[in-house]
Amino acid sequence: MSPVGILFLTLFNSILGLSILFPILGPLGRELGLTEVQVGLFSTGYALMQFLLSPIWGRLSEKGRKPILLLGILGFAVSFLLFGLFALLGQRGLVPAGLLFPLLLLARLLGGAFSSATLPTAQAYVADITSRENRTAGMALLGAAFGLAVILGPALGAGLAAWLGLLAPVFFSSGLAFLNALFVVLVLPESKPQGSQKVGHLSPWDGRVFPLLLLGFCLNLSGVALEQTIAFYFQDRLGLSGVETARSVGLALVLYGLVAVFIQGFLVRRFSWPPRTLLLLGLPVSILGFFLLVVAQGFPLLALGLALQGAGAALAGPGVTAALSLAVGEGEQGLVAGLNSSAQALGRMLGPILGTGLYRMAPEAPYLLGGGLLLLALLLLPALLRRVKL
């Protein structure tokens, strides 16, 4: 298997282990006597650590990719094991009520801290082993691994929880991560000789990367705001019950994910479109998806709008990542990948707060915001591409 294929499996396993928890965190929190706000802080804290530490991990990976990737996966495994053990003790009443939430939050913060090493190191690894002409296709394959894991993870988590209990997915994630670490040790080759060169410094305000980081932030912010509110939107627009909403949104999200995986795993790799083309295609398609969501009244148009937004994001996302990689030198790949992951994490932090806050004002507001941000980005794109020389 090629190094890119091995890296695909590595990232797929990592994201699968994370997305398995999506359907169980809410009910597990309630079973442990936690509030909705406390459960929400698990995700916010996780993203905060990724925002803060991704640039540091990216910089450290310039001295060797494999050790940092391995450390990130092992840290993730240990943090999930701790989370599961703390929750198990809480279920059995062996942890004081006032201490349970801080312990669980600490485990999640550790998970965010170490998992933040995985994606930037993987992106830098792809930059090491691909030519400039094949850079976009390599980055798209990482996106496909991410998307496929997000599709399969929640279904696997729900199945494990129904069969073995709410904590089964947590321990499964930890075990999968330990196996993933073993896989990396035995199979993945090092892409960058350790200590091969002096590590420099890359500021997020550097003119080569700042416009692209801002574009990536806008893409993530608008996408997460949509994800956090789409179930409410389907229920309110279609007048559905809770069970009907879960069925309808689940079907639409599967379509959303499959479209994204097909585009990143096949189309982008098949046609080797450069970042400029991906952005010029992806932004208008995503804007159209947001517009359809605003005006749609029935399930078919709502699902089509969601699928179009997913298609646009699947095109634009690898475009931003590849453009950032191509905008800097070979000795700055880990640095720029860390900044990119940090910008994405900031979008994941703010997206839920902004999306749900706007939804309370007007159900269409999160999608108007998303479409408006991307429309502004599209209008500024020619100048942006000239500035970063792509």
Q: Are residues 235 and 304 in the same domain?
A: yes
φ, ψ (nearest 5 deg) of residue 374: -75, -30
Q: Are residues 173 and 242 in the same domain?
A: no
Domain contains 194: no
Domain contains 198: no
C-alpha 339/C-alpha 51 separation (Å) is 9
Q: Are residues 154 and 27 in the same domain?
A: yes
Neighbouring C-beta atoms of residue 12, cutoff 10 Å: 20
- In tens digits, what is the pLDDT along the chain, a chain of 390 residues? 677 788 888 888 888 888 888 778 778 888 898 887 788 888 888 889 999 999 999 999 988 899 999 999 999 999 999 999 999 999 998 988 789 999 999 999 999 999 999 989 999 999 888 888 888 888 888 888 888 888 888 888 888 888 888 899 999 999 999 999 999 999 888 887 655 556 678 888 988 899 999 999 999 999 988 988 888 888 888 887 766 776 787 788 888 888 988 998 888 888 888 899 999 999 999 999 999 999 998 999 999 999 999 999 999 999 999 999 988 888 888 999 999 999 999 998 888 888 888 988 999 999 999 999 999 999 988 877 776 666
* Chain position carrying tokens 């980005």: 377
pTM summary value: 0.85
* CATH number, domain with residue 247: 1.20.1250.20
Q: Are residues 117 and 226 in the same domain?
A: no
Q: Are residues 170 and 217 in the same domain?
A: no
Domain contains 382: yes
Q: Are residues 181 and 309 in the same domain?
A: no
pLDDT of residue 389: 64
Nearest to 268 by CA among 124, 133, 138: 138
Q: Greatest CA separation found in the chain?
A: 61
Q: Using an 8 Å Cβ cutoff, are 95 and 86 in contact?
A: yes
Q: Using an 8 Å Cβ cutoff, are 248 and 238 in contact?
A: yes
User: What domain range includes position 40?
Assistant: 3-187
What total of structural domains would you count in the chain?
2
Neighbouring C-beta atoms of residue 383, cutoff 10 Å: 9
**Distance, C-alpha 99 to centroid of its chain:** 30
Domain contains 193: no
Last residue of a domain, one of 187, 222, 240: 187
pLDDT of residue 7: 86
**Distance, C-alpha 39 to centroid of its chain:** 19
C-alpha 142/C-alpha 7 separation (Å) is 8
C-alpha 29/C-alpha 27 separation (Å) is 5
Neighbouring C-beta atoms of residue 168, cutoff 10 Å: 18
pLDDT of residue 22: 75
Domain contains 153: yes
Q: Are residues 260 and 172 in the same domain?
A: no
C-alpha 42/C-alpha 32 separation (Å) is 14
pLDDT of residue 306: 92
